[in-house]
Chain A
Amino acid sequence: MTTSTVTAPASTRAPGTAAAPDPARTRRRRRLAQWGFVAPAVVFMLLFFGYPLVRNVVMSFQHYTPKTFFTGEAPFNGTDNWAAVLQDALFGKALWHTLVFTAGSLLGQFCVGLALAVFFNRRFPLGGVLRSLILLPWLVPMVVSGIVWRRILDQDTGVLNTFLDTLGPIGHLPWLTSPDLALLSVILVNVWIGVPFNMVILYGGLQEIPKELYEAASLDGASAWRTFRSVTLPVLKPVITVVLVLGFMSTVKILDLILALTDGGPADATQTLGTLTYQNSFVELDFGAGAVVGNALILVSAVFAVLYLRADRTEGK
């Protein structure tokens, strides 16, 4: 591909010096060639991750209208976007939904994932095959999973309500169409999506725990629950941290799933900072307002990162 060609350092050697290479100079050339390996990736990441961060801050102080993309004019308007977004009640709601969605998803994914990891850590016929087949849902595009679940959760003819009918007269629950239930439904679907990933990583962690620890625990007469709490969990802690940190970073920014399931509705009940950014920028073409919400989303991640790093440091001491 054209972007990635590593160009050789273009140093032209002065004629006559070729016979006796200056060591400092060859070293410098060597360094330059070595940087040539790394530079394309650094440039790419600066363009696709660094630049958007900066640009979003700038954009949040600019006035974008649908006309901007014809005229190219987006005048600075001070803190107008910020004031407009922060005064809108929807922003607070979206922030709250983001936190609930993230916390709920992480809790569900982690608990179910850990339970399955512990379960598959036993040896039984077909265990390995079943464990790897559980990965399948994770490989389906998230937006497609969302659409499949939208059909399953349909109030009148979805298979979940049909199934619940056979259990008793609960009535058909409006999973995705009631403002009270929709966020919970979206969380449950996201738990389903995240379980395989959690399970695989936690399973890998369980496999690393030395058998002797369990033997010692059973010699001491510890119960299964006690062993789990006093041996498994403490040893597994680094892996648990990785799962939760990665889970947070990928969950807080989820957009595909919510758009496919509810489009942020009903009555904005599943609107998160991610979907609100999308709606402001790409539906209403107010990129300034979208940038404000996007910055808030980054801020949430940053606060989490700082808390995590601080907790990590105090623990290391």
Chain B
Amino acid sequence: MASHTTAPARGRRLGSTAVGLLILGVMLFPLYWMLNTALQPESGLLQVDPVPGDPDLSGFSKALGDQGGHLLTSLVVSLGAVAVCLAVSAPAAYGLARFGLRGSRTIVFGTLITQMVPGIVIANALYTSYVDLGLVNSYFGLMLADASLGIPFSIVLMRSFMVSLPGEVLEAAEIDGAGPVRTFVRVVLPMSRNSLITSGLFAFLFAWSDFMFALTLNTTDDVKPITLGIYQYIGAHVGDWGSVMAASVLSAVPAAVLLLLAQKHIAAGITGGSVK
């Protein structure tokens, strides 16, 4: 095709690129502004220059000092949530995809229905139970709650993948005398690597961006993820937008890294998780 393109057609394509760049510019502007404000900590409550003429990293060092621990908390809680999420949902996805259990359809339907339950309703009931169980202000409690954000998504995504695993391979494993657990660990999991990665990524993103459970299931400063840290930061540092924005930039770093490293998996997850 390329060899046949006429000059006007090429012009139109470049025009499309220009429009595309403009759209991207508008969509990404808030992120740019976040970085820009973070690099001008001295501007405080005043107007921020369009470009950081003299980039000042002191906002970042202050944010890192104030919020570094919360970043670490976010990391620990999110990784824990991913572990719980995958450990619970991968076997379930396999079971629902392959075993033909009675009630499978109902369970899959129920998994979809969970998405209708508002988080604040869950938090409302969970808080009172967490108080009774001593799980308020605990890493483990927050991990479990955050895992619940990823589990329905992961079950649906991995199940739709595992349905299409080649039956002969699984039967061959069984004929070799492997029980269901062995077949699952040795054959199914390695073959489902991609959908496991996608599920894990999304479970991480969901847990990392969680704010509601962090806000409601913690009453002290013991377990404070970065989302909650930043939210309370604006309350306490009204004039110090530079540091707030620097902390915001830091909170977006994992997502940006993930997008760069695993763009393919993320696009697959967004489409695969919704349009089966």
Q: Which residue on A lies nearest to B110, using beta carbons?
A: A45
Interface class of chain B by DSSP: helix
- Interface residue? A187 (CB, 8 A): no
Query: When the two chains form the complex, which single residue of A41, A126, A141, A157 contacts B45, counting CB atoms closer than 8 Å?
Result: A157
Taken together as a complex, chains A and B put the C-alpha atoms of A302 and B113 apart, in Å, by 10
Distance from B94 Cβ to chain A, minimum over Cβ atoms (Å): 6
Q: Is the CB of A141 within 8 A of B151?
A: no
- Interface residue? A132 (CB, 8 A): yes
Q: Which residue on A lies nearest to B114, using beta carbons?
A: A49
Residues of chain B contacted by A4 (CB below 8 angstroms): 84, 87-88
Q: Which residue on B lies nearest to A161, using beta carbons?
A: B47
A38-B107, A40-B91 in contact; A134/B124 too (CB < 8 A)? no
Q: Is the CB of B120 within 8 A of A253?
A: yes
How many residues belonging to A are interface residues under a CB distance threshold of 8 Å? Answer: 95
- Interface residue? A231 (CB, 8 A): no
- Interface residue? B48 (CB, 8 A): yes
Taken together as a complex, chains A and B put the C-alpha atoms of A69 and B128 apart, in Å, by 8
Taken together as a complex, chains A and B put the C-alpha atoms of A277 and B118 apart, in Å, by 11
Distance from B259 Cβ to chain A, minimum over Cβ atoms (Å): 6
Q: Is the CB of B145 within 8 A of A281?
A: no
Q: Is the CB of A301 within 8 A of B275?
A: no
Residues of chain B contacted by A145 (CB below 8 angstroms): 30
Binary contact readout A283-312 vs B (1 if CB under 8 angstroms, 0 otherwise): 000010011001101100110010000000
- Interface residue? A142 (CB, 8 A): yes
Taken together as a complex, chains A and B put the C-alpha atoms of A3 and B33 apart, in Å, by 43
Q: Among B13-21, B55-63, B163-171, which stretch is in contact with chain A?
A: B13-21
A125-B17, A151-B33 in contact; A55/B128 too (CB < 8 A)? yes
Residues of chain A contacted by B113 (CB below 8 angstroms): 49
Residues of chain A contacted by B155 (CB below 8 angstroms): 41
Taken together as a complex, chains A and B put the C-alpha atoms of A260 and B251 apart, in Å, by 15
- Interface residue? B46 (CB, 8 A): yes
- Interface residue? A51 (CB, 8 A): yes
Query: When the two chains form the complex, which single residue of B14, B19, B92, B248 contacts A41, counting CB atoms closer than 8 Å?
Result: B92
Q: Is the CB of B88 within 8 A of A34?
A: no
Taken together as a complex, chains A and B put the C-alpha atoms of A33 and B86 apart, in Å, by 19
Q: Is the CB of A140 within 8 A of B31?
A: yes
- Interface residue? B37 (CB, 8 A): yes
Q: Give me the interface of B with A, judged by CB distance under 8 Å.
A: 13-14, 16-17, 19-21, 23-24, 27-28, 30-31, 33-34, 37, 45-48, 50, 80, 83-84, 87-89, 91-92, 94-96, 99, 101, 104, 107, 110-111, 113-129, 131, 144-145, 147-148, 151-152, 155, 179-181, 184, 205, 208-212, 215-216, 226-227, 230-231, 234, 241, 244-245, 248, 251-252, 255-256, 258-259, 263, 266-267, 270-271, 274-275
List 3 A-B pairs, minimum CB-CB distance, nearest first.
A41-B92, A37-B95, A253-B118
